[in-house]
Structure formats: structure tokens, C-alpha cells
Amino acid sequence: MSQATTLNHTLDFGLFDWIEWDKSPPNEIFENRLKMLEYADQSGFYSYHLAEHHTTPLSVSPSPAVFLAAAAQRTSKLRLGPLVFLLPFYNPIRLFHEICMLDNLSNGRLDLGVGRGVSPIEAEEFGVDLDISWDMFNEQMDMFTKGFTTGMLNHRGQHYNYEDIELWIKPHQKPYPPLWYASNNIETVPWMARHGFNTCTVFADNSGVKAHYDLYRRVWKSERMSDGLNSHVTVPKLGLVRHMYIADNDEQARLEAKAAYQTWFHNIDYLWAKNGLDRLGAMRDFDALEARDVIIVGTPSNVEERVQRAIDETGINYFCPIFAWGDLTPDQVMRSMGLFIDKVMPNLRPGSS
């Protein structure tokens, strides 16, 4: 079997998360999430991916490294990673050390998601100009990949300059942790594919995801760089993120999920609405998104059918549900997740496309 073919002949499961504010004390939110990860650790999930957002109820964990360090101590098999660290928001030396610490604290379970940021509101609060953030991102990637392997920072660029900075800690994984890049922008796909990045996409319907990953495969097969940033990963993961909620009957699942979705949409839209911007209007309509399988809710049998359809129609090899979202209670989250683990996940198979 060729490398290109294996992109369609594996299937793993991950978890995606924002850790939203749900009116509970933050210490309770964090503890409930850590219990969820303990459950995932024993249930066959491959990795847990945590987004980074700032000054918004979408995230009470704006420092992913802090939460992931705690998660590393409560799990033993589950891989852990930001999706993504917003590189231009950080001092490169500090972030380098945090990455290496996380990989060692987890005994080599870090999945290193990197990005430049997409919210101009959050970027402005950090003094980051998104117009130049791509150049900042590329400089940091160059510094990090060299630093991981040489133990030194030597870089002279437009945004960062370092000379003979000694780095006394390296990653546990060699040459460095697997790299991830999350994007819904099809224009970034050729770059990701040439470098062999693991990736996830969200919010697009199945046909949009298929176009995304069909392009990835074509470029990966014909143009992949032998010295790409993620060339140490043999078979990249092509992931799909979906809001999910499972209950004993379809009516109950839709009723409870739709209520929670209103809270989730408020959280993700908060900064835009606060600034008088209607950028996310297309994501407001739960019914329309659920009808297109962008949100997947229902009984275990119906969810299994819809997830398998997504796998077959998109060609993904990595499915990444969101179990904790909006104001779903911890009991609702754990019951929904348990139904997926016991009654859905064992029956899902790699895609047929």
C-alpha cells in the first residue's frame, strides 16, 4: 500500500475543545474537564486539542500550556496539544521553553498545533498586526525547528533577532513533536500539504471538507517536501471537528443540543457582537447546520450513521467530536461521551472513498 493510499485507510478519534465559561467557578470548569480527559484516556481516543482564545467567554483557558500541563498529570496515554498556539502572540524564547516543558511533562505526548491567529480583535489587544503575522509565524517556525534540533537560537530576521542563545531543554520527541495546523481556508491547503502538517477543519459541510482534503491529497502526493516542517510524520492526520450530542431519543437530543448551542454561539460571537460586527451570522442557525451534518445530534444509531457518512463523504482519517460546548452540564457531557464510546465509536470504519 502506498503512502498516499494510507491517508484513506486509517481512522482515529480525537477531542476538540474551547473550555468555555459556563457560569461555574473556573476551578470547577477545569476539574470537570480533567475528569473528562481521564475518561478519554481510558477509552481509546488519540489526542485532545485545545483552542487558544483571549478576552472572550469562548475560553477560560487562554493559556493552553497551563491547562495541558495539568492534563498531562491526569492522563497517561492520551496525546495533548494546543490547536493552536498563536505564535505571534508570544515571546519566542518563552514559548520555546513551554513547548519543551510540555513535551517532557507528558513523556512525549505533545501534539504541537501552531498558527498565526484569525481574530483581528484579539490580535489588536496583543498589539499584533495580522497583516504581518504570517511573516512573524514563519520566522518563529524557522527558529523553533532549528532550536529544537541544535539547542541554540540563532536568527536574524525582520521581526526577531537572536544570537547564540543557549537552550537547556529540548523536546522529548525527536526531532520535535508532530506539527498541526488548523484551517478552514482552502488557500492554505497546498502549504500544509507540502509540509505534511496534521490538520483539522470545522464548520464546513461535508462537501466543503471533501474539496479541502481532496486538494490536500493531490498536493501531498505530488509536491510533498522531503525536508518539510512535518516531514518526520509519515502519514498526516486529516481531521474533521463536529459539535456532537447524543441522547436516548432524537427529540431529547435536538432539544438539549439546540439550547446549548445558543450559549455556544453567544460565546463565539461575543467579541464580534461587542464590536458591532456580524461576522458569524451563517453559524447562528442551529437547524440549518444540523440538517447539513455540521452539527451531529441524535440517538447512538443515528449519530453513527451520520458520522460514518461524514467519514465516507469527506475522506478524513481522523474524527474529532466536541462533547463539551455551550452550557451542557457535566452530566450531559459525560453521558453523551459515554454513548459515543460504547455504542458509536466501535462501529465506525475507515472511509470508503
Query: pLDDT 10s digit of each residue in the chain, 353 long?
Result: 334 445 767 999 999 999 999 889 999 999 999 999 999 999 999 999 999 999 999 999 999 999 999 999 999 999 999 999 999 999 999 999 999 999 999 999 999 999 999 899 999 999 999 999 999 999 999 999 999 999 999 999 999 999 999 999 999 999 999 999 999 999 999 999 999 999 999 999 999 999 999 999 999 999 999 999 999 999 999 999 999 999 999 999 999 999 999 999 999 999 999 999 999 998 999 999 999 999 999 999 999 999 999 999 999 999 999 999 999 999 999 999 999 999 999 999 998 75
Domains of the chain with CATH codes: 3-84+181-347 (3.20.20.30)
CA distance 118 to 47: 23
Answer whether 0.75 is exceeded by the pTM.
yes
- List of residues 6+ apart from 270 with CB closer than 8 A: 56, 57, 58
Work out whether the CA dihedral 255, 257, 258, 262 comes out positive or negative. Answer: positive
- Spatial contact of 135 and 87, defined as CB atoms under 8 Å apart: no
- Spatial contact of 143 and 92, defined as CB atoms under 8 Å apart: yes
How far is residue 275 CA from its own chain's centroid? 26
